[in-house]
Amino acid sequence: MPAQQFTKKSQIHMTETLAVLIIFMILLIFALFIYFQYSYKSLEKRGFEFQETEYSTLLYSLTDSPELSCSKENCIDISKIVSLKQLNHRLKNKEIKIEIIYPEPLQKRECNIEDYSKNNCNLWILPSLKKTNNKIVVNTPISLYYPELDEFKIGLIYLTIYQ
Amino acid sequence: MKSKKAQMEIMGLVVIFILLALLSLVFLTFALRPKISTTEILRTSTKADNLLNSIIRTTTSNNQKMLDLITESYINSDFTHLKQEISKITYKTLPHRQYSLKILINQENILEIGSCKIGISSTKTIKHQDNLFKFILLIC
């Protein structure tokens, strides 16, 4: 076999190997890109989940805090909310909203101090000093205690954290 | 000779493809499996506890305690009003979620609302007017 033919054959082999390497590299880069995208999204999701857990725990601990809890277990004393409203208390970057859902109030509007023990409003709000569009809201049903009436109502407590 | 070599190469390619297909299948099986996060379990569990607690304590729209309404419904064997009141509560607190609430008085199953069979449960036992009430709330 002449030497020139050998060179041509080895050149073809070299090109073939190079092509395979290039294709392999492209596939590898593509796979790595997809993997990192997936990992990043999964990390982001886990981070969000951890944040939600943290805020949910904070929400659940609210019902045990002396500022809001009632004399019985796991409920909120509405008279304390009224007192906080009277003081015009504002939270730093958190908003607490209590929606009365049962028995259904006659009107759907924000409650004032005068509305305490009346059934004509459905929202008690302790506003935040800071308000942004980037926020996380967690909620849970809660028992609302009216000490003067010695009655319990059912509400939903929302904790909004502005970031 | 050349044909045999080509056959061997094709066989190798087929083996690689089969291996890749198997790997993708295993990956997809794990990736597409529905995951229940611990956060969701914690949240649902607290929700179930709080809701059951609230239902038991509440005063109904007729200014009657819930436990008294249950006793009255049990004595009269008429649970229509009780069912309506509980539905009003769950409609707002558990929107778009399946649930089941079972009420037992002295071990006797008196009422079951909802169709949830497997989920996160909350149980409470209370003594009221010489009767032992047991509530089981299940959220799917």
* Tens of pLDDT, residues A58-109: 888 888 888 888 887 788 888 888 888 777 666 778 888 989 998 888 888 8
Determine whether the interchain pair B89/A102 forms a contact, defined as Cβ–Cβ distance below 8 Å.
yes
Number of residues that make up chain A = 163
Judged against a pLDDT cut of 70, whether residue B2 lies above it is answered with no
Average pLDDT over residues A18-25: 93
What is the average pLDDT value for chain A, to the nearest integer? 85
Q: Which residues contact A89 (CB under 8 A, 6 or more apart)?
A: A126
Percent of the residues in chain A that have a pLDDT greater than 70, as a whole number: 94
Average pLDDT over residues B109-125: 88
Average pLDDT over residues A133-138: 86
Least confident of A44-48, A64-68, B1-5, B66-70: B1-5
Determine whether the interchain pair A53/B88 forms a contact, defined as Cβ–Cβ distance below 8 Å.
no
pLDDT of residue A29: 96
> What gap in Å lies between CA A40 and CA A29, rounded to an integer?
16
Judged against a pLDDT cut of 70, whether residue B1 lies above it is answered with no
Angstroms from B134 CA to nearest CA on chain A: 18
Cis omega (within 30 of 0) for bond into A103: yes
Percent of the residues in chain B that have a pLDDT greater than 90, as a whole number: 15
Judged against a pLDDT cut of 60, whether residue A121 lies above it is answered with yes
pLDDT band for B136, please (50, 70, 90 cuts).
Answer: very high
Pairing mode, strands A123-126 and B131-139:
unpaired
Between the CA atoms of B113, B119, B123 and B129, what dihedral angle is there, to the nearest 10 degrees? 0
Angstroms from A34 CA to nearest CA on chain B: 14
pLDDT of residue A112: 82
Determine whether the interchain pair A154/B58 forms a contact, defined as Cβ–Cβ distance below 8 Å.
yes
Number of residues that make up chain B = 140
Determine whether the interchain pair B50/A142 forms a contact, defined as Cβ–Cβ distance below 8 Å.
yes
B 14-73 residues with CB below 8 A of A?
A: 37-39, 42-43, 46-47, 49-51, 53-55, 57-61
Lookup result for tokens 């190469």: B9
Overall pTM surpassing 0.80 (yes/no)? no
Alpha carbon B15 to chain centroid, angstroms:
45
Indicate which of A119, A154, A156, A159 best probes the interface with B, i.e. most B CBs within 10 Å of its own CB: A154
Average pLDDT over residues A141-156: 88
What is the number of alpha carbons within 13 Å of residue B36 lying toward its C-beta? 8
pLDDT band for A3, please (50, 70, 90 cuts).
Answer: low
